[in-house]
Structure 1
């Protein structure tokens, strides 16, 4: 990204609007009439003439993570839209950068920009009144090289197979929650299990730091490691993803953002909701829940990976390969914004989250493959 600018034009007067390009969308310059397409669903896109127009999308997030507009960008372009402007309901008019649902790099069709929720409301009003918008985005894709960071911890050999613990180490802005907390957990767990005697580790453990996750699905994450390690995948007994382990605010079992998304009631400020994502292996939930209840408040349990997953390039990719996978994560409206800073991470809360992971791993380490994958 070299340079960009967005200007709202009302009554012929251009006013600059703070923005951030949706990651990896096409560059370009243009001016177009605004059209409000609500949440950007298929019905809303089809109900309006958007050919040659700039679409305004009111994005919301379930569990503060799952965007309501994952396919809107590509579908709007198919229907002739020439630009897209979207918010992700971060607080205080903060801009939360995201990628489109599927990143096609140079084949991405149109420029797109994230705005703060309050600025996006200005665009919705302007669309109602016949306003226009202009944009300029100077951006290009270049190839680069990143590296995984790998730590191998041999077990006693009593049990075959390997447990793989992973955290992505790339981030937006300071990235304290997403994902310095996960990297801290990765290092802490590696130190703990390395301090055990080899006899106390009945099977091998692998600690993996990956990058590229925030570059836009399907690139990055564990994909690079998977391309070079097909054989070890067959030996994996468990994949654990460490992501969003602690954040300032009250931990609670909320309404997963659904009630708030419908506009029926406002969630509490600082809506940090925790969820456990697992593959459809009941033993994972059964073993994790006692430690969740001990170290964190009650958690939403979603045994649906890979069909529903916060990270298609992490636990989702492993789940697609049949590897039992877990991700105990929490989300805050401030992630992916410039306020994802270290002062928002309570050390005590992070410690509790890592201990829950530690004790779960201690339970799983001596389990056989059959026990981990048991349908009972």
Structure 2
């Protein structure tokens, strides 16, 4: 899945998801000389999905740097650079390879502010694609965001559309603390409106993408679009879903989810990641605590089964929660 972002489209309102990320990176680098990008093949090749293509010729090899295939080294270098006054944006080619960065990200970046009594911060961003949809197999398709949302000191973002990818990345780069910026690889070619004067988006605020009164569906990333298709099917049978796109997984918008639950009294949480011990489990537990009196039915979760991601296209399609699965879960809640 290689494509070349057409940088001349930046003066138009409609951008691909990949172009929106490219634009945000370019603008942040223009605005702040301490921002730099590095990772495997991010310079001339523009990364495996072409997201950073064109930036090397624009900003030079000092600020767009190719690295060896050594994720642990790259992540430790990012921590050191952030601690000494720079704002690194590290690209990890696939989220599966975040396993090799865990010491630097989890034990160092996430804890530095706390361990130094607030005297220092680690303003670094790790960009990484997750998810299936391109039949990349079990070692290149995992959704591991729940791992990082579990770590105090880390922020975790997962935008579902070009405008949010642009606005949230700008906020992530200017944030004083480490941010894991998750991009679903199936979205890179998606087009959407990104105004020329688009602003940064506040971290931790969900987006209501559809209004409804019968049940609340909370989701994020590429699954937002599957949920929207399911909501249209449900509407045809008289069930109106209130759909929330979390956008930010850590911190997550607890008040927005609770407000939706108070309106609909039913809650379904959907994500592409494995259902067991996932983001949906945390939301369900919290809403069970603070929203119990609002519930007219048990909270329901829908995610991938507890098996590795299949390689075969037919199996991967069954593995990912589809619109029909969401419709069935919603109808069961509303029965």
TM-score (norm 1): 0.38
TM-score (norm 2): 0.42
Name the one with the larger helix percent: 2
Name the one with the larger strand percent: 1
Greater relative contact order (Cα < 8 A, sep 6+)? 1
